[in-house]
Structure 1
Amino acid sequence: MTPDERERLERRFTAKIVVDGTGCHMWQGAHNGRYPTLSLNGRTVYGHQLAWTLEHGRAIRPGHQIDHTCRTPLCVNPDHLDEITRRMNILLGSGPSARNAAKIFCDRGHPLFGDNLYTAPNGWRVCIMCRDGRNRKYAAKRKVAKLETAWLAEHGEATA
């Protein structure tokens, strides 16, 4: 991008910004219902990604996303934007994954840390006390079913 093209883009970009009382640069242009959008060379780009790229002079690294530290999706203030991994972006949010990751007790009230925590290969955290309880219950059901099958095989004619 030539310096003239960059200057035109920056003027076009900043014309759609209003600074609010919190320091957020609120996007006044088009958006997709959540994030600011801008048409650039026939492509739609996100305003917060463009703001970050213009500020840092490089593309966003593969596997990374731009996080709004102010938690305001329409903000394009480069000081409110961080380049982080997708996982970190999810965990910093308020969705189910972030809420579960923040839990220190399982749904039954057992501690979800130390010797009572198992982290599965897929990253899921498992309460060992609950897991062992489920395993005991399953083993007991299998034992009863096995005994019933053996009893029916032995006394099958008596029940017919």
Structure 2
Amino acid sequence: MSTLATDRRVSIIERIMERVLVVDRGFQMDGMPSPCHIWTGPTSGEGKGGGYGRMSLNAQTVAVHLVVYTHYFGYIPGKKQVDHLCNNRLCCNPVHLELVSHIKNQRRRASRAKEKA
């Protein structure tokens, strides 16, 4: 990767981190506390499918967690989705993001909804 591309990627992550609060919300990984990186900028709204962090990148509105995932882990195949292991849509902590199939994401969502009920 060229130095220019690397510099651009770093500047994008720096822009994101300027609008992130690191908050311990009780989520644990491997028995250890793992704080969420909560996006404090614009969101996708409150309706169904809302609540995700949004930012402008190259005059396009993009999901912050997808930008973070791509930065740290690479390409997201068309048939895959990025799930928040912490179940917080505003979290963009890369270790809380996992590439999963649509069906796995939906099963997790249903399971989490049952746990809340």
| TM-score band, normalised by shorter chain | 0.7 to 0.9
Structure of higher RCO (CA pairs closer than 8 Å, 6+ residues apart): 2
Query: Which runs of 5 or more structure 2 residues have no equivalent in the other structure?
Result: 26-34, 46-50
Instruction: Report the structure, 1 or 2, having the larger strand content.
Output: 2
The two structures, once aligned, show a CA RMSD in angstroms of 1.7
Deviation >3 Å, runs of 4+ = none
Specify every segment of 5 or more residues in structure 1 that has no aligned partner in the other structure, as ranges. 100-160
Query: Mapping of 1:9-28 within 5 angstroms?
Result: 9-22=12-25, 23-28=35-40
Per-residue deviation, 1:94: 2.5
**Which of 1 and 2 has greater Rg?**
1
SS of the residue corresponding to residue 2 of structure 1 reads: helix
Greater fraction helix: 1
Q: If the length of structure 1 is used for normalisation, what is the TM-score?
A: 0.56
Matches within 5 A, 1:68-147: 68-94=84-110
Cα displacement string for residues 100-154 of structure 1 (whole angstroms, at most 9, x for unaligned residues): xxxxxxxxxxxxxxxxxxxxxxxxxxxxxxxxxxxxxxxxxxxxxxxxxxxxxxx
What do the CA deviations read for 1:11-40 (whole angstroms, capped 9, x no partner)?
111101110023000001111121000110
2:41 to 24, 29, 34: 29
1:50 partner SS: helix
How many residues of Structure 1 are paired with residues of Structure 2 in the alignment? Answer: 96
- What percentage of aligned pairs have identical amino acids? 31
Q: By how many angstroms is 1:7 displaced?
A: 1.9
For the residues of structure 1 that align with 2:87 and 2:24, how far apart are their CA atoms?
15
CA distance in 2 between counterparts of 1:74 and 1:10 reads: 15
The 3-state SS of whatever aligns with 2:21 is strand
